Homo-oligomer: A and B are copies of this chain.
Amino acid sequence: MAQIRVAFLGPAGSFSHEAALQLYGPSAAEFVPCVSFAVAFSAVQRKTAHCAVIPFENSTNGSVVQTLDLLADHGNLYSDIVVHDEHYLAVHHCLLAHKNAAVQQGPDSSYRSITKLYTHPQAWGQCEQFLSRYYKGVERQDVSSTSKAAEIVSRDATGQSAAIASRFAADHYGTSILEANIEDKHENTTRFLVLRNLESMRTDGAAGLPETDNNTMASHIEISPPSQKQKVLIAFTINHSSPGALADALLTFKTHGMNLTSINSRPSLVRAWQYIFFVECEAISHAHFDDVAEKMLQGLRNVTESCRNLGNWRDRLLAG
């Protein structure tokens, strides 16, 4: 089979890279680092990548709003993008420094030499207990990704800078690990979505993306029976001047036997204080799933201003 191209938020060594590798294995795919989520979305929309692996939510920090805003597709740029699968990745943060840095440990278990910390803004929040205990008042520099932070400190032999990033990034950039598992919640997990191009899925048929179930790297699938639950993601807007419109839309899911599992809202950017809602729901039974989902969408179209089916996929949580 020809190599597939998998887009992810780079640089190399990112959590997205790790998730993509777990899903598709090192040999069957070419991994394409992207400078932003928008570039990864574009790659799938323009079919320069077969799929993109994009973080959707973290068990501690909640939703990734940049992903929601791209799925909202305010500019109508990603009309063919749908969610095809999901993947759960355990997120452990480590404190990294240059491999030769002579870091000096203080009496309180902090490394005294460190005067500047680098990481992605979301990671500060995930390591707040560790940071407030040992690195209170130390300068923090936001960077675009945890792997970028690892790369920066891999070039600073003074040992004055440290990065919060993964063991995967430490291996990738050859840094030392000063402390492992510094995250507040050790069960911290990020859920990634696999995005595909709906049109390619229709035309490629069997020549499309390999099922991740069959992939040797996806060992988490093999040890547990796969869940029978099927998830759907719907984005909709309502007429905000109509009282009860949101309740009516949400009631539609129940009417069609779908269980609401999560709700997110983001500014619609059409008018201030109006929102686009993202609802994930699941069917208890897999039987006639497509029929049920289609009828539910018809029902939703009657009570919403706009409504988009962002795809359906098998729940991977119970299989983890």
Contacts and interface: CB of A to CB of B under 8 A. Distances in A.
Interface of A: 58-63, 65, 121, 141-142, 185, 187, 189, 191, 240, 243-244, 246-248, 250-251, 253-254, 259-267, 269, 272-273, 275, 277, 284, 317
Given A61-B267, A247-B250, A247-B260, 5 more contacts: A58-B267, A62-B265, A62-B267, A191-B273, A263-B263
A273 B62 contact: no
Contacts of A141: 142
17 contacts: A58-B267, A61-B267, A62-B265, A62-B266, A121-B142, A141-B142, A243-B284, A244-B259, A244-B260, A246-B263, A247-B250, A247-B251, A247-B259, A248-B254, A250-B260, A251-B254, A263-B263
Contacts of A142: 121, 141-142
A246 B272 contact: no
- The list of the 9 closest CB pairs from A to B, nearest first, reads A59-B272, A247-B254, A243-B259, A246-B260, A250-B250, A62-B266, A62-B267, A263-B263, A247-B260
A243 B216 CA distance: 34
A55 B43 CA distance: 36
B275 A262 contact: yes
Contacts of A187: 272
- The A contact surface, by secondary structure, is mixed
Nearest to A188: B272
A187 B185 CA distance: 39
Q: Which of A59, A61, A284 has the most CB of B within 10 A?
A: A59
Given A62-B65, A141-B142, A267-B62, A317 B273 contact: yes
A267 B59 contact: yes
Contacts of A121: 121, 142
A189 B272 contact: yes
A73 to B, nearest CB: 16
Contacts of A263: 246, 263, 265, 277
A191 B253 CA distance: 31
B265 A264 contact: yes
Nearest to A264: B265
A123 to B, nearest CB: 13
A262 B265 contact: yes
A240 B282 CA distance: 12
Contacts of A264: 264-265
Contacts of A243: 259, 284
A253 B262 contact: no
A102 B65 CA distance: 38
Contacts of A277: 263
Contacts of A244: 254, 259-260
A190 to B, nearest CB: 11
